[in-house]
Amino acid sequence: MPRPLAGQTVVVLGASSGMGRATALAAAAAGATVAVMARRRDALDALAADIQAEGGARPLVLTVDATRTDAVERALAEVAGTTGRIDAVVNSVGTNIPRRSLGELTAESWSGMLADNLTAAFAITRAAVPVMRAAGGGLLVHISSVAARKADKSGIAYQATKAGVVALAHGTTEEERENGIRVTAIMPGMTDTPLLERRPTPPTPEMLRIALKPEDVAAACLYVLCQPARVHIPEIILQPART
């Protein structure tokens, strides 16, 4: 099978489940050396076993709190020191909460959403950019949400933080394009991941049937990862064909 990412190193943060997990599997299948990061070591070890079972090289596995810039910096330095390069970083870190309406949000829950969705994206960006500058370029992919473009029932904290991720992606591109750094924001609609379990009302079987799958988002990530350095894709929106 074609291995368009052979010889490249791809880092996936938020790789323990959902879109991040699917993206790590897709990148490994495309021939990349993959480093997977998240807070849950057991889930990362299971992912590593699955990558190897599918014929990929064993990935680097690092437990990281992505809300801490120093922790992400150390993790990326370890990857670069081990593999000799980092070609792309994919940020799939993010969460939502059941009590998400304006009347239910508290200062604490708002701050938690900011940390997990937006501060993590900043920490990853802040840690990745110097590594990519030193290498003469690189690709950073942030998985955001279509909620960044159109308000829905996902809650104002989710919408605001995911919109912030898109703004961060575009702003970083403007600052770093002359250093060869490209940044893409991918904005999926409803996707069948564990995040749906945090909805105030669980999704129905019919909703899950028509939802995007993590592999759909991973395919979009892989498309971006496989582009030559002369190509910049600012953003991609994916929606279920039926609503």
* Active site residue ranges: 158
Instruction: For residue 85, give the nearest of 50, 26, 134, 14 by alpha carbon.
Output: 134
Radius of gyration for the chain, computed over Cα atoms and rounded to the nearest angstrom: 17
How many C-beta neighbours within 10 Å does residue 55 have? 9
DSSP letter string, the chain: ---TTTT-EEEEESTTSHHHHHHHHHHHHTT-EEEEEES-HHHHHHHHHHHHHTTPPPPEEEE--TT-HHHHHHHHHHHHHHHS---EEEE------SS-STTT--HHHHHHHIIIIIIHHHHHHHHHHHHHHHHT-EEEEEE--GGGTS--TT-HHHHHHHHHHHHHHHHHHHHHGGGTEEEEEEEE-SB-SGGGGGSSSPPPHHHHHHSB-HHHHHHHHHHHHTS-TT----EEEE--S--
Return the structure tokens found at 155: 């809650």
